[in-house]
A and B are shown apart, each in its own frame.
Chain A
Amino acid sequence: MLSNNFSKEHELYLRAVKRRKAAIIIVQILILIIFFVQWELTAKYKIVDPFLVSQPSRMIKFMGKLYNEGMLFRHIWVTCYETVIGFLLGTIVGTLIAIILWWSDFICKVLDPYLVVLNALPKIALGPILIFWVGNGKTAIILIALTISLIVTIISVLTGFKEVDEDKIKLLKTFGASKSQILRYVVFPSSIPTMISALKINVGLSYVGVIVGEFLVAKEGLGFLIVFGGQVAQLDMVMLSIIILSIAAYLMYEAVAILEKKFTVWKS
């Protein structure tokens, strides 16, 4: 259907579409550059107090210092590692529980009010209990990240399972499919798009869990740097950590988006 012999009008149209796309990207990058340049300049000429808002050049200097101490990637690694583990565990355990609830309508109905309560509860409130139980360390942080994403995963994956077309299930039943075959052949694969959008939400939630966890107990990691920087009035440390955190969260979100493309090739 695609041909390279476009009419003049169509070529103009294509060029306009391309130009618009380029314009959007250029403006996006410009906003970023302008933001940092004005930050640097307003701080330099003392229009804003660099002690309170820090300054890009001071942040870079601090980053160099951290790097020379060999701690920069250590902190980043710790936070990302905890997030990925919490995120994967939340997704896998959440999906498994959703499968159990799909399998047994009785269990699902019984647990429904408890799920509602747990969903409404701010999971961070459980932080101190988890720390008390497993000690203050990485395990507690991962557990906090896990509890934050778990309930949302269960609910959204289960909703995805239940939205599967009844007639598709009927079709499989006429072939004599067992319940596990129905799960494998239709319920699970047709819920993959729902599960991936759950993953996308979980990336953000797991970061929340990890940072809060690090606020509470950590001796390393970006959350630790933020809280420590605040305590010793080192805003360079705080701001730098927040910016690195944003980049890390963005990259992880993009990784999930790549995964999404891979699993939904059939859509293209």
Chain B
Amino acid sequence: MSKLIIENLSMIYHTIEAETKAIDNLSLEVLEGEFLSIIGPSGCGKSTLLSVIAGLFPPSSGRVILDNMEITKPCNKVGYMLQRDHLFEWRNIFSNITLGLEIQGKCNNESILNIESMLEKYGLSSFKNYYPHQLSGGMRQRVALIRTLAIDPDILLLDEPFAALDYQTKLAVSEEVYKIIKQEGKTALMVTHDISEAIALSDRVAVLSKRPARLKNIYDIKLSVENRTPLKSREAPEFRHYFNAIWKELDIHVE
């Protein structure tokens, strides 16, 4: 069943000097409960796409439909996770997590209990009175994910969520984030430029062209590993086939 439908989406940016077509007639469906990655060359309009899906600005043409409802403005059904964690330094971990609920006026006993149980489950409850600078980069990104999950979104949009982390932390955090998303049963749409990260985490990988972004191909990632996690996926024999295929598809030349 389709969770999110992107229909003939186009997006044009206007500046005094020029108009730039960022997205060109893009159509894509995200299925309920799946993890879909969008990969494309840098600056191809991937982040623009997520902003449109989040309802931050309207597309030039086309529509985004979530659960049969067209998205026109930010709504609490979409959770957005940015590249950096953007925890507020002046708030402790707990009140960073309640941020979204406070803004939506939904900070009640039930939601607080839900947060407490997530903190407990994901090993952060002893840090809830700490301030962000006292936590490691990996922990901060986990807090950012829980902050996004606290508003109980139907779909998670991940905008290069691991790009700011060093390589080892990235492997560990993507493992954790993947498990949390699966455990909470969320649908996820991730934008990345890291091919192996996309294959390791996703059920499907959509490859976009250079700007203006068009859909080039979609890969069904089928790996012969049991109890799939991102790290285990990297061991699968099919992993490098997908890697090579996507690398060719991206058609990147260094000039």
Mask of A182-197 contacts with B, CB within 8 angstroms, 1/0:
0001100110100000
Mask of A142-168 contacts with B, CB within 8 angstroms, 1/0:
000000000000000000000001011
- CB <8 Å contact, B100 and A173: no
Closest residue of chain B to A192 (Cβ to Cβ) is: B90
Is B12 an interface position by the 8 A CB rule?
no
Per the bound structure, the CA–CA distance linking A245 and B51 in Å amounts to 56
Q: Chain A residues near B78: list those with CB within 8 A.
A: 174
Is B54 an interface position by the 8 A CB rule?
yes
- CB <8 Å contact, A173 and B82: no
- CB <8 Å contact, B86 and A167: yes
Per the bound structure, the CA–CA distance linking A171 and B80 in Å amounts to 7
Closest residue of chain B to A186 (Cβ to Cβ) is: B88
- CB <8 Å contact, B89 and A266: yes
Is B16 an interface position by the 8 A CB rule?
no
Interface contact tally, CB-CB below 8 A: 59
Chain A interface size band reads 20 to 34
Chain B interface size band reads 20 to 34
Is B56 an interface position by the 8 A CB rule?
yes
Per the bound structure, the CA–CA distance linking A190 and B78 in Å amounts to 26
Which chain B residues in 107-146 approach chain A with CB under 8 Å? 131, 133
* A171, A172, A173, A185 pick with most chain B CB within 10 angstroms: A171
Which chain B residues in 70-104 approach chain A with CB under 8 Å? 73-76, 78-80, 82-84, 86, 88-92, 99-100, 102-104
Q: Could you jot down 14 A-B contacts, CB within 8 Å?
A: A165-B86, A167-B82, A167-B84, A170-B56, A171-B82, A174-B79, A175-B76, A175-B151, A176-B76, A176-B104, A177-B103, A190-B88, A266-B131, A267-B89
Q: Supply 5 further A-B pairs (C-beta < 8 A) apart from A174-B56, A174-B74, A267-B133.
A: A167-B86, A173-B56, A175-B74, A176-B76, A190-B90
Q: Chain B residues near A167: list those with CB within 8 A.
A: 82-84, 86
Is A181 an interface position by the 8 A CB rule?
yes
Mask of B206-233 contacts with A, CB within 8 angstroms, 1/0:
0000000000000000000000000000
Per the bound structure, the CA–CA distance linking A237 and B160 in Å amounts to 68
State which of A168, A176, A189, A190 has its C-beta within 8 Å of the C-beta of B75. Answer: A176
